[in-house]
Amino acid sequence: MYAMKNISFLLALLLSASLSQAAVRLPQIFQSGMVLQRGQTMRVWGQADTQEQVTVTLNKTPQQAKPKTKNLITCTTVADAQGWWVAELPAMKAGGPYSLTVESRPSASDTNPSPLTSHIELSDVWIGDVWLCSGQSNMETTLERVSPQYPDELNDSNAMVRLFHVAYDTDATGPKNDLRPTSWQKLNRESAWRFSAIGYFLGKQLQQQTGVAQGIIESAWGGTPIEAWIAADSIKKYYPVMHRQTMLYQNDAFIQAQQQAGALAGQRWQEILDEEDPGMIWSQSLEASPTKGKHYHLWASSDFDDSQWAEVNQYNLTAKPSPLAGRREWIGSLWLRQHITISKAHAGKAARLLLGTLYDADITYINGVQVGSTGYQYPPRRYQVPEGLLREGDNVITVRFINKTGIPYFVKEKPYRLVFGDNDIQPLGEQWRLQTGLEMPRNIGGGISLQNQPSTLFNGMISPLAPFAVAGVLWYQGESNTDPRGAREYAPLLRLLMANWRDAFRRPDLLFVVIQLANYMEPSEQPQNTGWSQVREVQRLVATEDARAELAVTIDLGETVDIHPLRKKEVAWRVALCLDRLVYGKKVMLSPQVTAASVADGKVVLTMDQPMQPAGALKYFEVAGADGKYLNATAHLDGNSRIVVDSPVSQPCHLRYAWRDNPLNVNVYSAAGLPMAPQQIDLP
């Protein structure tokens, strides 16, 4: 009997008040509207009273028709001494909608049996393909976040695609009993708006390609390292010190004390900032104030005189005459104001204020009225301006930055504008008036980020899903492991995660699509050797060496200024190509690969596995001799499947391609339009 990892479950169906003993239960993953994996044994598990007989039945007859015995697929099992049970339904072809019933009844050996049975019935059950989408924030990035990139696809709906969002949860002591309450949802704008954009686009595309139901499970958490997603027994075996790190948090009283202390410190830090900030005053000091007893944002007022403030460009807040000139850090509040002129035609109209992306937190006002706020750096600022707020003539936008580290800044290449209606745009200027608010000390508090500790997310967000049958895993993670130590350890950790999950889901051949890190940060004209390139190489090598894995290359889909690039539909399309080869047996060409490398007459010749896209000078090749010092090299295409690199050293020993944080505008593509992956090659 499968031990079920101490799974405990919520009551899936309220029973009659007269039912005092039998109560079969199912975990969150089993609900009406779900998708079961075709072509695999379908495991259904749960809890009942000890030694109860549990029968799981899948009714293949359309739900509106009268059931026929021959269309029932049934499996009967018995709950063990702890009440856990598992039933295995045979592999089936895609189809639906079906109903799934789970019924428990006392064992014949029960000396005091209940005459009643416990019965759960799930409806609208489909058999198709199920995908587990996991990793950190780029997998978690929502449809809402990328919506400006794809305005024509925001209102799509497809009842044959079902979305299942796993809520955040952690545990340092061991596998969680079950997921937090959630449900299967049909794909539409409402259900997808806060769902993984990659999962959304992938589900739509695969359903259109295959014609079968698609189940997309999103289990991701931004900013988390790979070790948080690996089971404790694996970490303990291969990384005992890392395991002991988790053991430090196996004390609820300690965690609660730390979290409470951090919250209190943060609260007091904010109270001091608001009380002492010269841009804010207590309204009780104002006669007949309508907001008596509250803070009044003096410097946000439309009639406040800011003529003596320093005028600065938003992309250089530390340039003279800014009071931040020469500063590398400003902790506390910073105020910026910009006056804009609104025409008579636009006066009084509702609008959207796009304030790009800011570092770090902000509270934003128009004419003294708060229109939005964001608590950290990454989300785009898209604030709704209500009707009647904008007036003809002079208006003022005020941004109050709140920073706990670093220096405040506006992110380049993002939109800064007012938008009326669909596409009536009034750009903002780059010039602002600036004044420092209150300088603060560093926050003395600090809670515990359990999600960043080894094994905690496997325990809370992966183990409760297993062994639910899935077609494969999409893994998009690595940004949090790009520090030097993390990059060195990433290869064995990624291999361990894949083996670990295959064991948990009871699928030795469970497939993985590893999404390689996109280009990011300031471009460099000279060779670099950073953690970002090293993690990309590990992702490539691990995916290449594993017959049940593929690499989705995204080195051309990133952004210089944003760790969360918007082009998630293109990522999903490349993932789908990987699945075409891995799952659906199609003969597709993925990103071009080097099949042979040779050196002759001061040139390195790379033979590719497919025709390449014509181009002129090929960018981002570099060569090193035995000393390991890399130099830029020129390269060109010779024929349609050979790349010739002119070596800058007499005896080339190593070659690298796109080995930089942000090899902007790479131009080595296959004829099919897919980019070559960043990589390092030791030459013969």
pLDDT single digits (tens) 335-345 = 999 999 999 99
pLDDT single digits (tens) 508-529 = 999 999 999 999 999 999 999 9
Helical H segments across 22-152, by residue range? 137-140, 143-146
* Distance (Å) of CA 408 to CA 320, 333, 352, 377, 440: 15, 9, 23, 10, 14
pLDDT single digits (tens) 483-509 = 988 899 999 999 999 999 999 999 999
Q: What is the pTM of this model?
A: 0.91
Query: What is the pLDDT confidence band of residue 293, given thresholds at 50, 70 and 90?
Result: very low
Q: What is the DSSP string of 563-577?
A: SS-S-HHHHHHHHHH
Q: Mapping DSSP to helix (H, G, I), strand (E, B) and coil, where does residue 139 land? A: helix
Going by C-alpha positions, the residue among 462, 461, 474 that lies closest to residue 167 is 461
Residue 385 pLDDT > 80: yes
Query: What is the pLDDT confidence band of residue 287, given thresholds at 50, 70 and 90?
Result: very low
Going by C-alpha positions, the residue among 345, 339, 347 that lies closest to residue 367 is 339
Which residues are CB-contacts of 162 (< 8 A; sequence separation ≥ 6)? 33, 34, 35, 126, 184, 185, 186, 187, 213, 214, 215, 216
The 8-class DSSP code of residue 257 comes to: H
pLDDT single digits (tens) 633-681 = 999 999 999 999 999 999 999 999 999 999 999 999 999 999 999 999 9
Residue 3 pLDDT > 70: no
Residue 16 pLDDT > 70: no
Query: What is the pLDDT confidence band of residue 62, given thresholds at 50, 70 and 90?
Result: low
pLDDT single digits (tens) 22-43 = 589 999 999 999 999 999 999 9
* Lowest-confidence region among 215-224, 280-289, 393-402, 658-667: 280-289
Query: What is the pLDDT confidence band of residue 7, given thresholds at 50, 70 and 90?
Result: very low
CA distance 311 to 300: 17
Residue 405 pLDDT > 50: yes
CA distance 312 to 323: 10
Q: How far is CA 225 from the centre of its chain?
A: 12
What is the residue-averaged pLDDT of the chain?
91
Going by C-alpha positions, the residue among 219, 13, 209, 58 that lies closest to residue 131 is 219
Residue 624 pLDDT > 90: yes
